[in-house]
C-alpha cells in the first residue's frame, strides 16, 4: 500500500467527478500529475501539481482548477485540509491517524511491506560481475557484484521476475594464457623451475592449480607439446577459477542463477544465427574502417572486414564482427549472447559493467535494439572505481608488487555486511571512496553503523517492554489502539515509514539501489531523534509501565520501524543486527 498512490487515486477520482459535472473537460491525461511529499513540511503532508499539470490541456487557469479540485479532495478520507498555494499547488493536510494507519499494515505484512507490483511479473535479466575467469576478483568486481545483487533484490521486491546471470569469458585468448600460466605452476609442482614470463599470470593462486594438475596427470604432460594439453589444462584451470569466483561471491552473499559460457557460443551455430538475424535486417556488410582518431596505431592498414551497422543506432562508427582473417572479434559472441537473452524471452535486460566499458555501451544497446526490433530495453549500468583508503591515505594497489586488494581481502577485513552497505552508499556512476578505518567506525558518520544501531535500539526497546510484561506479537500490536500516538516525533517517524513503498517503486524504476541506503539513513535518523525525546521528556519514552495503551501504541511504531529497516537491509543484502554489544 503506497499512501501517495492512494491519494493520487483520490485526485484522479476528483478529476473524474469534475469532468462528469462539466467543470473540467473529459478525458484529460493524468500522466503528468504527481502526488509527493512536499520539501517543506510547513506546506502540509502531501502536495499535488494536478492543477498546474492539467491547466494547459484543460485550457483553464491553474488556480480555477485548483479551487475546484480542493473542494472535491476535501471529501477524501483522511484529508483534513486543502490549501491552494503558490502557482497552483494543492497542499493536503492529512489527519495524523492517516499516517499512523500505516502501522497495522507494516505489522501485518512484515518485511513484505512495500512489495510492489511495478514489475507485474515481467522477466528481467541482470547480468553482473562477469569477471574473467583468470584469477581472484578485486574490489572493483566487488562493487559490481554488490550493486547487481542489490538491484536484483530490489527489482524482485518490486514485482519483477529476476534472473541473475554471470557471463563467463572462457572463449578468448586470456583463458589460453591462463592455461599456460597454470602449466608453469604444474611444472613447478613437478620440481622444475617455472618460466612465468611477461604476459602470463604470475599470481600465487595458480600454485594449487598446478599441484592439482600434478596429482591428476603425474608427470606425463611435461614433455608434451602445447597443443596436446592446452584444451584440457584450460578447461581444468577455468573451472578451478570459476570455483574460486563462486566462493568469493558467496563470501559477499551473492548467488547467481546462471553462468553463461562464452565458449558455448563457438562452433554451435549461435554466433552465425545471431549474425544471420542482423543480416536479415540489412545491418551487416563488408567494409573498411577509418583509422581511430586521436591515437592512430603505427601499423594501421585499411582492410576489408565484416561490420555491424552500429551507426544506424547512434554509435560513432560501425563495429567489426569479423577480423580480416575471418575469425570472430570479441564483439561477435557478445552479439550472440545478447541475441540469446532476447530469445530467452526477457522483457528487460540490464548489464552491470565496469566504467572502462563505457565505450561499449552504444554498440550493446544497438545490438539489443536491432535484434529485438526495439521490444526489449537494455539498461547498462556502469560501475565507477572504488578508491581504497585507510585512515585517509590511499591504499597502494599494484599487481606486480602483489599488493592488489582482492574482494576477499575486503570481506575478510570489514565483513560482508559493512562491505555491501558501504558500496551502496553511492550512485553507481560516481566514484566511491572506501576507507578501511572509517567503515568500521562506530559513529553517526558511518551510515552502516548508524542504521544498524537504530535497528538494534528498536530491538532493545522491545526487550525492555517484554521485561515489563508487554506482549510483542506483531499481529497483536497491529490491532493496538493507535489513538495515544501523536507527538511530532512519532508523526515524523510514521510519515517516513509510509514513504517506504514509494521509495521502493522509485528506486526500482530508476535501477538505483543506493536510494534504499539513503532512505534507511533518514529513517534511522527519525527513530534516533524520537528515542532521544524520551530522554528529555520521560512521558515520551516508549515504554510507560503505568500506561499500557500508550505503550502498546508506541511499541507498534517501534516494531514497524524495525520491520522496515530489516526489509530495506534485506534488499541491500545486509543482515540486521538485533544488538550492538
Residues in 490-509 that interact with RNA by CB under 7 A:
506
Residue whose CB is less far from RNA, 21 or 529 = 529
Among residues 135, 188, 127, 201, which one has the least CA distance to residue 162? 127
| Distance of closest approach, residue 124 Cβ to RNA, in angstroms | 21
What backbone torsions phi and psi does residue 261 show, to the nearest 5 degrees?
A: -85, 125
User: Which residue in the set 264, 384, 389, 575 belongs to the binding site for RNA (CB under 7 A)?
Assistant: 384
* Residue 157: CB minimum distance to RNA, A: 18
Beta strand 35-36 pairing with 284-288: unpaired
Query: Among positive and negative, which fits the CA dihedral 185, 188, 189, 190?
Result: positive
Q: What DSSP letter does each residue of 332-348 carry, written as one string?
A: HHHHHHHHHHHHTT-SE
Least separation in angstroms between residue 533's CB and RNA is: 6
The interface with RNA within residues 217-256 (CB under 7 A) comprises none
Cell 535497528 belongs to residue: 455
Q: What is the DSSP letter of 301?
A: -
What is the rounded CA–CA span in Å between residue 202 and residue 363? Answer: 33
User: Between the CA atoms of 285, 288, 294 and 296, what dihedral angle is there, to the nearest 10 degrees?
Assistant: 140
Residues with Cβ < 8 Å from 20, sequence gap 6 or more? 26
Closer to RNA by Cβ: residue 37 or 156: 37
- When asked if residue 375 is in the footprint of RNA (CB under 7 A), the reply is no
Number of residues engaging RNA in binding (CB under 7 A): 102
Q: Does 67 bind RNA (CB under 7 A)?
A: no
Residue placing its CB nearer to RNA in the complex, 239 or 442: 442
Cell of 380: 547498462
Closer residue to RNA (CB): 21 or 580: 580
Of residues 19, 222, 361, 440, which one binds RNA by CB under 7 A? Answer: 361
The answer to whether residue 135 forms part of the interface with RNA (CB under 7 A) is no
Q: Whose Cβ is closer to RNA: residue 431's or residue 483's?
A: 431
Residues in 529-558 that interact with RNA by CB under 7 A: 529-536, 538, 540-543
Burial of 40 (0-12, 13-18, 19+ CB in 10 A): exposed
The correct pick among 112, 464, 475, 481 for binding RNA (CB under 7 A) is 464
Binding range to RNA, per CB under 7 A, among 7-15, 47-55, 150-158, 199-207: 47-55
Does position 275 bind RNA by CB under 7 A? Answer: no
Alpha carbon 486 to its chain centroid, in Å, reads 36
| H or E segment and range at residue 161 | strand 161-168
Q: How far is the CB of 246 from RNA (least distance, A)?
A: 19
Residues 23-42 that bind RNA (CB under 7 A): 32, 34, 36-40, 42
User: Nearer to RNA by C-beta: 189 or 448?
Assistant: 448
CB-nearer residue toward RNA: 158 or 251: 158
Q: How far apart are CA 573 and CA 417, in angstroms?
A: 7
- What is the greatest pairwise CA distance in the chain? 93
Q: How far apart are CA 367 and CA 340, in angstroms?
A: 12
Closest distance of CB 367 from RNA, Å = 13
Pairing status of strand 123-127 against strand 161-168 = parallel
- Determine if 367 is a binding residue for RNA (CB under 7 A): no
Nearest C-alpha neighbor of 508 from the set 105, 8, 106, 117: 117
Q: Which of residues 555-574 bind RNA (CB under 7 A)?
A: none
Q: Of the ranges 139-147, 152-160, 477-485, 513-521, which one interacts with RNA (CB under 7 A)?
A: 513-521
Question: What contacts 24+ positions apart, CB below 8 Å, involve 387-393?
Answer: 387/431, 387/432, 387/433, 387/434, 388/139, 388/434, 388/435, 388/436, 389/433, 389/434, 389/435, 389/436, 390/435, 390/436, 390/437, 391/435, 391/436, 391/437, 392/435
Q: Which residue among 121, 173, 198, 227 contacts RNA (CB under 7 A)? A: 173
Task: Rank residues 147 and 188 by Cβ distance to RNA and give the closer one.
Answer: 147
Q: Which of 360, 421, 434, 470 binds RNA (CB under 7 A)?
A: 360
Q: Is residue 56 involved in binding RNA (CB under 7 A)?
A: yes
Please choose, out of 153-161, 181-189, 227-235, 525-533, the segment that lies near RNA by the rule CB under 7 A. 525-533
Q: Which CB atom, from 251 or from 419, has the smaller least distance to RNA?
A: 419
- Listed ranges 66-74, 265-273, 297-305, 567-575: which one lies at the site for RNA (CB under 7 A): 297-305
Helices 416-423/548-572 angle, 10° precision: 80
Interface with RNA, residue 396, by CB under 7 A = no
259 or 330: whose CB is closer to RNA? Answer: 330
Cell numbers given for 45 = 503532508
Phi-psi region of 267 (alpha: psi -120 to 50; beta: other; left: phi over 0): left
CB of residue 191 to RNA, shortest distance in Å: 33
Q: Which of residues 86-125 bind RNA (CB under 7 A)?
A: 86-89, 91
Q: Which of residues 412-451 bind RNA (CB under 7 A)?
A: 426-427, 429-433, 442-445, 449-450
- Does residue 470 belong to the site contacting RNA (CB under 7 A)? no
- 330 sits near RNA (criterion: CB under 7 A): yes
Q: Pick one of 121, 199, 280, 297: the residue that binds RNA (CB under 7 A).
A: 297
Cβ atoms within 10 Å of 217's Cβ, excluding its own: 17
Amino acid at each position: 500500500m503506497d499512501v501517495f498512490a492512494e491519494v493520487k487515486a483520490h485526485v484522479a477520482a476528483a478529476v473524474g467527478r469534475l469532468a462528469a459535472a462539466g467543470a473540467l473537460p473529459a478525458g484529460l491525461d493524468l500522466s503528468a500529475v504527481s502526488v509527493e511529499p512536499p520539501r517543506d513540511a510547513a506546506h502540509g503532508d502531501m502536495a499535488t501539481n494536478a492543477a498546474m499539470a492539467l491547466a494547459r490541456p484543460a485550457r483553464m487557469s491553474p488556480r480555477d482548477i485548483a479551487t475546484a479540485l480542493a473542494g472535491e479532495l476535501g471529501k477524501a478520507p483522511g484529508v483534513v485540509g486543502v490549501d491552494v498555494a503558490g502557482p497552483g499547488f494543492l497542499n493536503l493536510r492529512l489527519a495524523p491517524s492517516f499516517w499512523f494507519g500505516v502501522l497495522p499494515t507494516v505489522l501485518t505484512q512484515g518485511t513484505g511491506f512495500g512489495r510492489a507490483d511495478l514489475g507485474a511479473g515481467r522477466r528481467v535479466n541482470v547480468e553482473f560481475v562477469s569477471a574473467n575467469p583468470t584469477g581472484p576478483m578485486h574490489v572493483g568486481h566487488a562493487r559490481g557484484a554488490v550493486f547487481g545483487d542489490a538491484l536484483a533484490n530490489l527489482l524482485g521486491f518490486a514485482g519483477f521476475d529476476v534472473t541473475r546471470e554471470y557471463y563467463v569469458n572462457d572463449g578468448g585468448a586470456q583463458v589460453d594464457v591462463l592455461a599456460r600460466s597454470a602449466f608453469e605452476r604444474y611444472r613447478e609442482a613437478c620440481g622444475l623451475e617455472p618460466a612465468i614470463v611477461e604476459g602470463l599470470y604470475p599470481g600465487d593462486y595458480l600454485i594449487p592449480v598446478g599441484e592439482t594438475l600434478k596429482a591428476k596427470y603425474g608427470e606425463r604432460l611435461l614433455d608434451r607439446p602445447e597443443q596436446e594439453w592446452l584444451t584440457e589444462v584450460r578447461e581444468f584451470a577455468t573451472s578451478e577459477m570459476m570455483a574460486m569466483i563462486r566462493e568469493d561471491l558467496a563470501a559477499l552473499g551473492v548467488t547467481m542463477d546462471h553462468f553463461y559460457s562464452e565458449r558455448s557460443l563457438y562452433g554451435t551455430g549461435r554466433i552465425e544465427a545471431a549474425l544471420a538475424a542482423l543480416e536479415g535486417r540489412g545491418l551487416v556488410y563488408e567494409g573498411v574502417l577509418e583509422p581511430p582518431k586521436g591515437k592512430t596505431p603505427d601499423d594501421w592498414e585499411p582492410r576489408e572486414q565484416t561490420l555491424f551497422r552500429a551507426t544506424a543506432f547512434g554509435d560513432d562508427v560501425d563495429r567489426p564482427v569479423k577480423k580480416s582473417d575471418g575469425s570472430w572479434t570479441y564483439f561477435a559472441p557478445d552479439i550472440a549472447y545478447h541475441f540469446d537473452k532476447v530469445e530467452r524471452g526477457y522483457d528487460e535486460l540490464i548489464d552491470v559493467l565496469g566504467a572502462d566499458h563505457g565505450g561499449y555501451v552504444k554498440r550493446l544497446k544497438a545490438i539489443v535494439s536491432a535484434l529485438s526490433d526495439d521490444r526489449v530495453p537494455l539498461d547498462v549500468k556502469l560501475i565507477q572505481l572504488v578508491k581504497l583508503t585507510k585512515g585517509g591515505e590511499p591504499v597502494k594497489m599494484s599487481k606486480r608488487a602483489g599488493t592488489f586488494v582482492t574482494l576477499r581481502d575486503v570481506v575478510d577485513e570489514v565483513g560482508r555486511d559493512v562491505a555491501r552497505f558501504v558500496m551502496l552508499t553511492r550512485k553507481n556512476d560516481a566514484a566511491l571512496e572506501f576507507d578501511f578505518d572509517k567503515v568500521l567506525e562506530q559513529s553517526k558518520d558511518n551510515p552502516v553503523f548508524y542504521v544498524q544501531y537504530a535497528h538494534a535500539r528498536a530491538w532493545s526497546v522491545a526487550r525492555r517492554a517484554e521485561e515489563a510484561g508487554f506482549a510483542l506479537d506483531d499481529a497483536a500490536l497491529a490491532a493496538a489502539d493507535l489513538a495515544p500516538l501523536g507527538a511530532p516525533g512519532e508523526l515524523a517517524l510514521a510519515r517516513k515509514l509510509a514513504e517506504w513503498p514509494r521509495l521502493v517503486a522509485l528506486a526500482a524504476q530508476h535501477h538505483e539501489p543506493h536510494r534504499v541506503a539513503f532512505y534507511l539513513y533518514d529513517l534511522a535518523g527519525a527513530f534516533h531523534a524520537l528515542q532521544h525525546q524520551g530522554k528529555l521528556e520521560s512521558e515520551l519514552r516508549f515504554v510507560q509501565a503505568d500506561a499500557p495503551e500508550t505503550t502498546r501504541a508506541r511499541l507498534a511504531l517501534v516494531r514497524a520501524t524495525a520491520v522496515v529497516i530489516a526489509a530495506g537491509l534485506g534488499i541491500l543484502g545486509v543482515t540486521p543486527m538485533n544488538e550492538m554489544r
